[in-house]
Amino acid sequence: MNAADIKFRRNLRTSSSDLELAKEVPVTPQTEHPAYRLAFDDKDFLCREELRPVRLQLELLKPEMVLDAEGIQSTCVLFGGARIPEPGGEAWAAKNETQKKNLEANAVYYTQAREFARLASEYSLTTGGSELVVTTGGGPGVMEAGSRGALDAGARNIALNIVLPHEQAPNPYVTPELSLNFHYFAIRKMHFLMRAKVVSVFPGGFGTLDELFETLTLIQTKRMEHVPILLFGADFWTKVIDLEALAEQGTISPDDVNLIQKVDTAEEAWSIVSAYYSL
């Protein structure tokens, strides 16, 4: 590209300028009709079913541009249940006494998630806040603990929130300029893993299991480089999933059971990360 080409591109009108001009036109039946709206400023048009491919592209592109602009090179992802309370907090999601008892006991993972996020964030600060940036879904429970741990260290953290039928908002510990929102689960999961160098998984429900097995599938099929996958709560995960049984049945390779490592404490998990990357 020569200098004349560069000059020509810079002299093109911006979309924002045209948008301001469009607001200055006379009010007439023609200008008031939806057909007259600029396509990129027409929400009804953008939300049509035929525009889904465009919306998917936009949802992939916007967070990528935000994270690039903020200098985020790699992330330390925390997956885990929204229903796990802070120690001493209310087990608000419990539907019976058994759940209440177990959720209160599982509050220990809130503490471990917060501590693990703090350890990762302390390292991240040594890189100028560009590497191993703590990333969560931005909600309550384990996600809140991760955001809070990063803040404990004085570091930024990323939240990949999602629009749900019930009330959903980022927890108050999320860094505002890194608080992102999604409509599509698929695009959100891509952003969880595109920069991930560590994936830590705390006890959770269907969403946590989905995220765990998505990660395992990508690594198993070599669509994603191998990274440490740390399952917090050895007893919990031994009860919930049995990769050894899958290997015995021949539905996964014997070596696939080694894709995960079970840990119980933040210090144990961070020692694995430190050794893996020679930090």
One-letter amino acid at 195 equals: R
Is pLDDT above 70 for 8?
Answer: no
Quick one: pLDDT at residue 25? 82
Interval 216-261: pLDDT, tens: 999 999 999 999 999 999 999 999 999 999 999 999 999 999 999 9
Give the CATH number, domain containing residue 97. Answer: 3.40.50.450
Quick one: pLDDT at residue 12? 63
Q: Compute the distance between CA of residue 255 and CA of residue 204 in angstroms, rounded to an integer.
A: 25
Can you give the residue range of the structural domain that contains 112? 71-277
Task: Assess if residue 50 is contained within a domain.
Answer: no
Quick one: pLDDT at residue 18? 73
Task: Assess if residue 180 is contained within a domain.
Answer: yes
pLDDT band per the 50, 70, 90 thresholds, residue 76:
very high
Q: CB under 8 Å to 86, separation ≥6 — which residues?
A: 107, 110, 144, 145
Interval 20-39: pLDDT, tens: 776 778 899 988 999 989 89
The answer to pTM > 0.85 is yes
Is pLDDT above 60 for 3?
Answer: no
Interval 124-175: pLDDT, tens: 999 999 999 999 999 999 999 999 999 999 999 999 999 988 767 899 999 9
Task: Assess if residue 121 is contained within a domain.
Answer: yes
Task: Assess if residue 28 is contained within a domain.
Answer: no
Task: Assess if residue 64 is contained within a domain.
Answer: no
Nearest residue to 79 via CA among 207, 175, 271: 207
Is pLDDT above 70 for 1?
Answer: no
Q: What is the mean pLDDT of residues 68-86?
A: 97
Task: Assess if residue 54 is contained within a domain.
Answer: no
Task: Assess if residue 196 is contained within a domain.
Answer: yes
Q: What is the mean pLDDT of residues 63-74?
A: 98
Q: Compute the distance between CA of residue 178 and CA of residue 133 in angstroms, rounded to an integer.
A: 11
Total domains present in the chain: 1
Quick one: pLDDT at residue 164? 87
* Beta carbons of 82 and 141 less than 8 angstroms apart: yes
Task: Assess if residue 91 is contained within a domain.
Answer: yes
Q: CB under 8 Å to 122, separation ≥6 — which residues?
A: 153, 155
Of all residues in the chain, what percent carry a pLDDT higher than 90? 86
